[in-house]
Every structure is written in structure tokens, then in C-alpha cells.
Structure 1
Amino acid sequence: MLNHEHPFRFRLSALARARAAAWCVLTFERLWPRVITCVLVLLMLLSLTWFGVFNYLSYWPHVIVLWALLFIAIGSLLFISGFHFPSRHDIDRRIEQASGLKNRPLETLYDKPVNDDNNAFAKALWAEHQRRMAGELQNLKTGVPETGMTRSDPLALRALVVLFTVTAFAYSSGTSGGRIADLFDFSRPVNLSRMRVDAWVTPPAYTGKAPLYLTESNLQGAKIPEGSKVTIRLVDGGDATLKLHDKQTGKTENIGALEEHDTTKTNSRTFETILLSSSELTLKTRHYEKNWNFDVVVDRAPTIRLTKEPGRILNGSLELNYALDDDYGVEKAYVEITPTSSVKETGLPLYDAPDIKLLIPRGGKGDARTVQDVSIHPWAGSEVRLTLVAEDGAGHQGRSETRTITLPQRNFGNPLARAVVEQRRLLALNTLSRDRVLDMLSALTLRPEETINNYTHYLALRSIWTRLRLAETDEDLKNVADFMWQTAIGIEGDNVNQAEKNLKAAEAALRDALRNGASPEEIERLTEALRQAMNDYIAALAEQQQNDGLGQKPSEKAQNLSPDELAEKLKQLEDTAKLGNHTAAEQLLNELEQLMDNLQVSRGGSGEEGSQTSEMQKQLDKLGDLMRKQQETLNDTHKLEDERERGEKTPEEYRKDLDDLKRRQDELQQELKKFDKDLTDKGLKSGQGLKDAENKMDKSGQALQQGDAGGSADQQSKALDAMRDGASKLMKEMQEAMKKNGNDGKNGDGLSKDPLGRKLGSAGHQTEKNGIPQESDMQRARRILDEIRKKLGQSALPDSEKEYLERLLKFD
């Protein structure tokens, strides 16, 4: 420690700075020779990296070069083991030597004499000596570091390494330069000049959208349908990775590359992913990164709605009119039918609901109509809930409003066939009603000589009874139900049903041909098949209406087609299809199908005879309505009796329901009396059947008043049979009157109309425009097509012109 610090305080700061500088110089001189090797190796490593050498090395050469240089660099650090920091004495000696100081003044400042504690003169003398030495401490220096590298590297080769590093650093800023991160990137090398990236989006097939190739103009915010498949193919891209960032959830996931089965394409990688929401894709490889942003358009669920109430058309089928809508078109539509609560209570139905597939218009959207014959299904005549369901290609469903309807059933004119079908329906809806059906079948065959005219029918009924009694499984019961339907058809006859099936098949075949672009020869063949099927159906329908005991009530939808009108309609359809306008042809087919569904075969009269026939038809309609009401009353009576037997009705409720049935029965009796009186006033013969029906109704009312629902039901059944006999006689009288009348197919104004109600000219040509080519247009188009075909037959035509003419022939 300095003696008398105050005189030398002004020199202490300079001395401290000199000592700090000397410490750094000495430390550098001792450390640099020991670390120079490590530094040079690391500079070489960085130089190789910046020159991009590691971008061209495969995995093992990369690892060997990297770890070899790192091993040398780390191994050279072993020389540091002999390194020690400079002491104060070393620092002072360095300053004294660099500053040219003699007699070691710095050491004198810290020295003191030996055994001078009691000698004042010695202390003063030593202090004066220190002051003089301190006075020499002017302009202290540390000197330039001397590492001795000139002796170990006299040629200064180390400077080449530095120059090499500086050059590499400058080179790294170019397109071929490397990065420090490449040192530890062991993925496959990538040559960006040879790398190729192809990316495209394939929308779902049901959308009808064309694939979208991703270019620079649509990398950001490309709008694609939901469920689109994005494909990215990378050639010579090394070990690239693809990441998907979902913008909606914020999650990021890695997309793996597909396995390449083609061994010749080992340098390519393919990524595929399905996008369900707006996302961002990022492709990364060495020195390359690319982003794609996609705005996914959500696929809306389809909509379907009823445009008309479901109903039964004249031929007995279920008619459904509906409208479909979807952003890309509906792929599939069907009807969902569920039983009402009253049907569910029956417990164990044998059959599933009817399977009804809905027709889909062109493009998967728009108005459509489907007619389905459900009359043969065991549920026919039951109350059900009906819902239309539409489904698009993505599996989204849309549902219409639910309607409660009664499924149309076939009208059987033969009472025996009608009874068999009714028992079949009861058995199909509830397997527990087997005993009741057995009793009813026994009752039907109790007196066959009075009720069954055909012995074959009697044997069929007994066979049904035997099969039903021996049935043990549901499959056995289904076989019995099917046999009951076949028996009913055999009793009634099935000409119309078979003809209608053939007609529907012909219509479906022609529709498919129009949609698939069939040849003109195929269109002509299918049109001829449709013409024959329509003729057979009309003949069968006419025969049925002549044989039925009751005529059907005329409908506003009913269409009367003459043979000439039908032939003209078919010819127009065929010509339109041959001209290539398949859309208009399909429209004509739909209109013709609707006309046939509502066809009513009859012969109209004129004058007094026509008026009489019309009046008789009205009376038959009234009688049919009375029979319907009587049948409903009979059904309610059976239902009330069953509920009483099951204990579901209290005596008070049972009595109240009996009174209500009694009131309805009395009203029906009064209506029948009024109907009989009206027939007599109009000079029509009612026959004894209606008189007997009045008596049976009166007995039925008395039985209800006495609380005998079973006896009332028997009388009501007899009343129905009597009304049928009266209706049969009245129908025969009407048929005789109809045979005397004719129908000229003209309207009151003397002008013919087509089946759609449009006026025709004198030559039968249309005079109104309804979106379907007129006769003159069709003739002109035919001439043009003939000229095109002749032109195509010339061999000297250029290929481009031939292709153009062929496209004209295929135009739809």
C-alpha cells in the first residue's frame, strides 16, 4: 500500500488505466496463441456454410465434415490448460518496460524499509525516495501485444482464412449463398433452380366446379368449396414439410407426404389434404417457403318443400309435387314415412315403411313431381306422417314440412277382394291381430254358397286361413300377407296394374335415354315402346271402368285424350329429341306423364242423352259418398267395440260414443232416403237394394240404442252390401246410356286443343308459344341438321371444321 497517498492521488487514475490496459495486453498475448487454432477452424466452418457447401452435401458427408471441424476446434482448446491470468507484478513489469522506467518505480511505491518503525529519519528518507520515484511516473505505456504468431506463422497464412471468411460472408447474401442454420440442417440438399412446385385444388365432384390451379395471382384468398382437396406436388424439393393452420380454431398441424408407389419418382413428394374451413398452408424446405390462403365457402344444406299437398291421383298412386334447391344441386331425395301414434299403438308391424325415391330435376334444383304406386304396400290405407328429405353430395340433409296423410290404396270393386285386403292390412300393422283375422276369414267362408261364386276363391281363402293358423315366425306371417294380396288380385283382376307398371317402366327408360344423350335410333325405339305401353294402359283402364260397380268421381285434373292427340304428342316429343333438344323433350315427357297419371277414359255425350249420363254420374257420386260415410261409421263401430273389450273405455264413455254413432247412422239413413226420392223424381231406377239398405240402417241404429255395437256392425255390413247392389244396377243403366253417346274430341268453340289445353290451328299446329319448339321451327331445324350431316360426309373437310360440325350435332 502506498505511503502518503495524498501526494500521489493525481497519478492513481492514470496508473489504474495503464494497469487495466496492461492486463488486457498480457491476457491477449497469453490466450491468443492457445485459441487461434479453434478460431481459424470455426471461421473455416462458417466460410463453408456461407458458400453453401452444406446445401450440396448429403446426410453422412454433412455429418462427417461438421463434426470433424468441430472436433478439431474443441480439441485445440486443450492448449488453454497452461493459461493463467497476469499478476500485479507482471502488470507492473510490463508497464515499466513499455514506458522505459528505470529502477522499478512502481515496485518502490509499494515497498517499505525493513525495521524502520522507530527511525524517523529512515522513514523520511524513504518517503522522499518514493516521491522522487513517483515523479518519474509520467506517460505510462503498455505497448503493443506480442503474441509470437510471426514466429509460428511467418507467412501469415491465417490472413487467408480471414479473407476466405470475409468473401464467404459477402457471397452468402446472393441467391446461392448459405445460412448459418444450414450447419445443423441434415435434410436432403435442395437446388432451388431445379425445384418445381405444382399446386392445385380439386373441388368435390358433386359441385361441378373445375379444378383450380394455384398460380401467383390466386395464392391469397382463393375461394374454394367446402371439402375441396388441395394437392401440392414438389419435385427436387428435398425433405419439405407442409403445415396447415386452421383460421377458425387457430390450430396448426403437419401434413404428411403421400407414399410414392412409382420408384422412378423418388425425388418428388406429394401432399394432399381436405379443407373444411378457411385455412393457410405453408410449404417449407431449405431456403424456400410458400404460403397459400384459402377462403372456404361453406356448403349449405339443401332445401326441399312441398309445392302442393300430397294426394292420390286418378290411377290410385301417391302424387308428390315439390321444389328442390341447393348451392351445388341435390344428389339424392327420398320420402321418410313414419306411422302416426294410432299406428304405433298397434305394436308389432310386419313391414317397414314404403321406400319412395324422389325424382331429381336437371341440375339438382327446381320443381319436380314424383308419382309412386304404394297401393300394393301393406301400409296402404293407413294414416302416416310424410316428410321429404333431400341430400347433397356432402351428405347434408334438408327436410320439408311434415304432412299427415292416408296412404292411397287400391280400390277393389269386388267386395270379397276388398275384405281380404282389409284383413291383410290389419295383419301387417299388428301381428297380435292374427286371431281376429282368422275369425274374419272363417266368417267369409262360413257360407260359401251364398257369398262366394267362384270355388277357386273359396279354396284360396281356406288356404290363407290354414297358413295363418300354422304360421310361427314373422317371415311366415309375411308370406301369408303376400298370399292374401295375390288372392285379392286374383279375385279382382290385375290388368290395369300390370299395364301401369309397363307404362312407368317405358317412361323411366325414355327419361334416362334423354338425360344420357342416347342416339336418335334409341330414342325412336323407346318412344315406340312408350306408345305401345300407353295404348295398353288406356285399354286396360277403359275395361276396368266398364267392369267396376262404381265410377270414379271426375277430377279437375282429369284429362280426356283422343288417339290422334296422343299420337301427335308423342310425335312432337320424338322430333324434339331427335333435334337434340333433350331438355325440351324431357319437359314434354313430364307433361305427358302427368296427363297419363290423371287420365280418365270415358265417352262424352251431347244433347239430352249426354245430360242424362252426366246426371246419372252425379247420382253415382252421391251414392259413393254415402257408402264411404257408411264404411267410416262401420270402422268406428269396430274400433269402439275393440276398445271396450280391451277395457280402454269406461261405461260412460262407451255410452257417449254409442250415442254419437247412433246420431251418425240416423243422418245417413235420412240422406239415403232423400237420395232414393231424388232418383225417383228424376225418372231413374234405384232398385230394391237401396230399400234394403234403409232397413238395415234402421236396425243398426236400434242396435246402437240398445248398446249392442257388434249387432250394429253386422247390420251396417249388410247395408253396405245392399248399397253396392243398388249402385251396380244404377251403373249398368248408366253404361247403357253411355254406349249411345259419342265424343268427337272437339271443344265447344269448334277448335281442337292439345292435352295441355292449348288451342290448335286447323292443321293441328300449335298457335301458341309455350317454350317448346313449334312445328315450323322443328321442320327448319331438321333441314339444318340434314345439311350438317351431308357436310360431314365430305372427306375434304378440315379437321377443325369437322369437330365444329360434330359439336353442333351434339348440342343440347
Structure 2
Amino acid sequence: MATFTPNEQRRALARLRWPLRLTRAGMVAEILLRRFWPLISIVLLGLAALMLGLQDIAPVELVWGAAAALVVAGLGALLRGVWGLRFPIAADAMTRLDQSLPGRPIQAMLDDAAIGTQDDAAMALWRAHKARMAARTEAAKAVPADLRIASRDPYALRYAALLAFVVALVFGSFLRVASVADMAPGGGDLAGGPVWEGWAEPPRYTGKPTLYLNDLAEGALELPEGTLITLRFYGELGALQLAETVSGRLAEEEAEGDAPAQAAQDFTVLQDGEIAIDGPGGRRWQVALRPDTAPEVEVIGDPQVTALGEMRLPFAAQDDYGVEAGEARIILDLAAVDRRYGLAANPDPRPEVIVPLPTPISGNRAQFEENLIDNFSKHPWANLPIKLTLNVLDAAEQTGQTVPRDMILPGRRFFAPAAAAVIEMRRDLLWSKSNGPRIAQVLRAVSYRPDDVFRTEVSALRLRRVVRQLEVHASYGLSDEVQSEIAEDLWGLALELEEGVLADALDRMRRAQDRLNEAMKNGASDEEIAELMDELRRATEDYLQQLQRQQAQEQEEGGPEGQQQQQSEGMQMTQDDLQAMMDRIQELMEEGRMAEAAEALKELQELMENMRVTEGQQGQQGQTPGEQAMEGLADTLREQQGLSDKAFRDLQEQYNPGAQAGESDGNEGRNGGQGRGQSHEGQGGRGQGEEQQQGQNGEGGEEGAPREGDGSGERSLAERQQALRDELRRQQGRLPGGGTEEGEAAREALDRAGRAMDQAEEALRDGDLAEAIDNQAQAMEALRESMRSLGEAMAQNEQNQQPGQGATESDRRADNRDPLGREQAGNGANSSDGPLAQGPDGADRARRLLDEIRRRSGETERPELERDYLNRLLERF
């Protein structure tokens, strides 16, 4: 059994010597802080006021009053702290240290046995217990002091005093404390004579720090132009005198008798010279002026003009401290204008055009190169001689400008003769209101035979309206409002004549690109970037569709030669390429690499504006079995969609008996016409032209397949569903790709589609339209999955072919795709049911359909059964 002797006890206590001392010191710190924190705060606050020089700017009475208040408060705080002050003794420190250990081993080690001292066994046990307690004391560490006094200072006054003292250390000086002695009688003499302080503060735009002149030795001193020198003299007036030649000011005579006890001198450094303080402790500096030069700007290249009239003018600007702003001024060079025709009249007065110059958003503006980008196509001076002057301004309001540059103000060129004539008349109208009658005559002559000039009657009617407005208002003079309105109408008409239906789509795409550019400059969030990218994608798809439709119309008018020429000159790109470009732009913006994102967006813009859509050959002779099967499945999917739409409208009209056939809200689809308000029965969802095409193309034209538009609308929906199921069985028996994993997956998907069609037919015969629509949706999903698997099987088959094989098929498939890689239907429009139907077009249609279902499901006036069905659709998809 362990023993514990007095020597071991002394050694254990010796080990506790430093923990006890540190713990006691911490207890002393706690007591001093808790009792004297008000005194410390008062002292720090008084020092901060003296170091900041508040005594030099405040009235003497206020200074003495504040000093008295601080002294009284300090004495009160001192008495409060001293009263009842008791420092901790060693026993107190030992008690606190013992309380920090488990079981209080120090006290147990010092205790003596009260009973059983004569019992050897009991004493042996007692010594073993004390030995264990002594072992526990080896882990003793000094108890940290608790310096938290928030409960004693609930308003955190101590932090306010500490903050004031830190501010005084940064912006004040200990030398200012001595100035308080001057306020006492005879204080100036006791201070040892007059003192002074001085600062040299350069203009803020230079980025130079303020200099404390008291810390600068005599000698050379270089200061920027415009530096403000501030000097303060303390003591008897006249004991210290200032002599300076850097400001160029005349010496001022001081007034006699009413001079203050302290004087201040402020002046600005405008030239080389000397600053001297004569008197006790005076100094002298030779000042070298660092001049602030005027900014410079120059045009570093010829203007670059895009096909749409946008001008890009490169320029360079520089300044020693940075350019603050700039502008471009454009005035008409009337002497260089060819004063013929509409320009022969005296022009209406117009102010000069002022355009702000772009400057770097961040970084150094001391020297930079930028591009002035603007579009002056709609300005009256477009394509006329002008004089261009660039001006820049620095922070000192000094200006620099270029020599006036003679140039033609870039504007959009119109190549269509009718559009060019309209734009010329618009220019003459904006040139002078007196040209109104002449413009009306010319436009009447242009539109004399509208069928030879205009593509649509709408354009001809718009021009006639403009002519009537000109003739009516020209008789008593055109106002500025009417002039602007007619000019805007002429501009829109010229765009329509030049671009046709592409104008709106192209304008939307450009607006989306401009908004994205602004987002890059302004540092948009990730959410805003994603929203703007979605807007750009939608606008780009609309533009491509408009471009494709217009070129299809031009090919029909131009015949095979025009089509062949366009195919040879057009450029093709896949949907994946376009998507990758947009994804790359979004990724660069999210990573903060705005310069690279702007360059990629510029490349995309140039590509979209310069591309021409190439149409594939419409003939499909020599199709492979896979292509024939794919086309047949696409026809089946399309017709199943038409049956589902018809069943949904019938279900809708069951709960809306007041509506006529075809007049239900949102009525549009395949069966019943392509628009709203047409009958649901009697004709199929596709027109005769598409029907004829199906009769010529592969599986879609064989007998036995149900075809809308051939009278099948008179049959019941159940019979048409049964016929469609029979057609699917026939296609399933001839499906290629057997023996491959993808081909088997396509067959399994067709099996599921067939079972869903059977269930839909049974539900239709029972009159349960809601159940039928659910089964039809399952059938369509299975058909799409089958088409995807079949497409993968065809792609795998092409990859396995030897080089040189399958070239005809690949060329044929490439010819039947648009530049985005989407297969086209027989009428030249984009197919929504081909192998690439799961692309952005399909996703957009699915999104619009879901939005419409959500909107209808939220309309409380609809029958409960219909809304339950719509909610089930939302849960499924």
C-alpha cells in the first residue's frame, strides 16, 4: 500500500508554487480591473482629447470646464476603487486552484486525520488517500483570470474610451498634449517658447499620402501641384513667421490689436519655391513642383462598321493621375455635304451629338485603350460627312481633345431598292421639314405598282398611310412630333422591306445579347446570368426559325438553282455546337472571367448574324430500314398525340357544355385544326399536303394505317385507337436492330406502348376519358423511349461499318438536317418527333404544356373532376 510522508507533501506543495502565483496574479488583475475600469476609461478619454488637439480649437472656458469635470470624475473613480480594496492572499489563490481540480485534492492533501490515529490500518489507508490526492495535484494549472466586466459596464463605455484613444494614436500626436500648458497663466513661458505644426495634403486624386511637416527634415521637398499646406502657430503672435514663394499670393498685412492668440496659414502649392518658418524651432524647405499635365486622347484606327451599322472606333487616352471621363462630339460638316435632291434645302437646326466615351470600370485609368461603340443608323446625319472630336477630362478639370476628324458617320446600309428609297426619304424628312411635299410625291411614285415593290400588302398599306400623313400635315407645316413619328414609321417600313419577318426575331436576339453584355459589366449574380442566358437561348431559337422560314420561301421563289446556291454557300453547325458555345459563355461569366465571356459572346453574335440556314433535300428515296421504321414510329407518335388531344378536349367539353365545338379555352392541337375555334371533328390534325407526303414516304403511307384527314374523324375514338394499335403491331414486326441490346430495348418499349394502347381503347369504349388519357400518355412515353433506343441502335450500326461504307446514308441524313442538327419534316419545318426531338425545342414545348396545365389546375371555376385529372398529370410528369 502506498505511503505519504511529510517530505512528499512538501514536494507536492512546491510543485504548486507557480500555478498558485499565477492564479493569485490573475485574481489581483480581476480586482483592479473591476474596481478601476472607470478611472482607466476617464484617463484614456482625456488623453484622446488632448492628442487630437481639441483644446486648440475649443474655447478656453469649455476646455477648463471639461478638464475640471474629468478631474472630478477621475477622483471619484479613484476613491470608489480604493474604498474597501482587499488583495487576495495565498489561501484565496489555493482555494481557487483547488476548486479547479476534481475532488479538491490540495485541501485533502493538507488535511489531518481526526480519529483513528492509533489504528495502523486506518492510518495506512489515510496516507494512501493523501498520496492519491497528491498525484492529482500534478495536473494543476493556473486558473485564468476572469476579466469580463460586461455586467458592471452594460453600456460598453470602456470600449468607447478605448476607441477614442486608438483614433488619437492614428490621427493625433503626443506633441499636442503639451499645448494645454499654454492655457495656464504663464504657461507659454513654462513651455519653453512658441511651437508650430504643419501638414502637406496632396489632392486626393493623386493617391499620395498627407505629410506631417514636423517629421520632415530641412532640404528638398517634391510636392504635386495643388498640394494644400496647412500651418498652425502656437504661442505669442509674431514669435514665428512664415515666408513662402510657392503659392504666388501677395503678402497680407495682419490686423493690429485683434489678432488671435494662435494663427493658421493655408495656401496651395502652384509653383516651385521655398517654404520657411522663421523663429525658434523653425525650418526651411526647397519645394520642387510636380506638375499635373493635361490628359491626352487620340484615335488609333479607322472606324469599323458592321453590316447593321454599328460603329467601333478605337481610341487611346492617358493622364498622369488618370482620366476621369470623356465624350465624343459630332457636328455636321455642312460644307462637305452633296447638296442635291432632298439635301438642297437648308437643314433644320440640330444640336451636336455628344456620346460619352467608355472608360475602364476597374484598374488604372492612367493609360488605356477602349472602343467607342454606338449605332447612329437612325440619326439624321447617318452616312453624311461629319467632324468627330474626342474630349477627355481629368480630376483637376483639365481637358484634352483630338483634332477634328473628317469622316462619314457610319450607318446601316439598305440593299433592297425599295428599302433604300424609303430610307433616303426618311433622311430628307429629318434634314428639313420643307421636304415633306416632295417626299410624298416620291413615295407615291415608288408605290405606284405595289405588287412589283412590296412582298406583302401590309407593307404597301403602311407606306400609303405614311404618304397620307405627309400630305395632310405638309400643307400647314410639320411639327416635331409628327416628323419624329413619320420618321419612325419609315424606319420600321425599311426594316420590313429589307429583312422581312426576320426583323423582330433579330431585334429580340440583339436585345438579349445587349442585356447579357450589361450584366457582364455590372457584375450580375449567378441567378441573373442564368436567366439572361435562357432569354438568349429562346431568342436565338426564334431567330433561327424565322431565318429558316424566310429562306424556305426564297428557295421556293428562286427554284432549284437558288436552293443549290444556298446549300453551297451556307454554313452548318449542330445544336450541340451552339449549346456548347452558350454554356461556355455562362461558365466564363460565373467564374468571373468577363473579358473572355464578352469575346465569346461577340463570336456568337457574329456567327448568328452571318449564318444562312441550309435546307435538306426533300426526297427520301433509298431510305434504310432503320430510317423507315423511325419515320413510321414518328407518324404513330404524332397520331397518338392527336388522339390524346381530342380525348382531352372532349373531356373538357363534358364539364363545359356551354362552349361550342372547338371553342374551349386553349383549343389548339392536331385533331380539329391548327388554330383556335375550329371543329374537333371532321378533319384531322394535319393538312392535305402533309397527308400526301405521308403517302409517299415509307411506312407512313401503307394501307391499314389510320390517317387523320381521310374521313377517320367520323369514327369513334376507340375505333381509331384500335386501328393505331394494329398499325403499331405491324411496325413492331418489321422493326430492325434484332440481336442488339438497343434493338431489344426498342421492342420492349413498343410492347409497353401496345399494352397502354389496349388499355386506352378499353377505357374509351367504357367512356372513361380520364383513364384513357393517362394510358395514352404512357403509350406516347413508351414510343419516345423506343425511338431513342432505335436511334442508338442505328448510330451503333453506323460506327461499326468499315470506312467507305454508309457514306450515302450519312450524306442523306445530313442533307435532311438543319444547321442545328435537327431532322426536318417533309414540308421543310423542323420535326418534333425525330431522333433529336428531345432537344431544346421539345423541352420548350414540354415546359409550355406544363405551364398551361398548372394554370388550368389553379382555376377554381373548372369542374372538380377535371382539376383532379390535371393534378394527376402534374404528379406524373
- TM class by shorter chain equals 0.3 to 0.5
- Give the TM-score of the pair, scaled to structure 2: 0.39
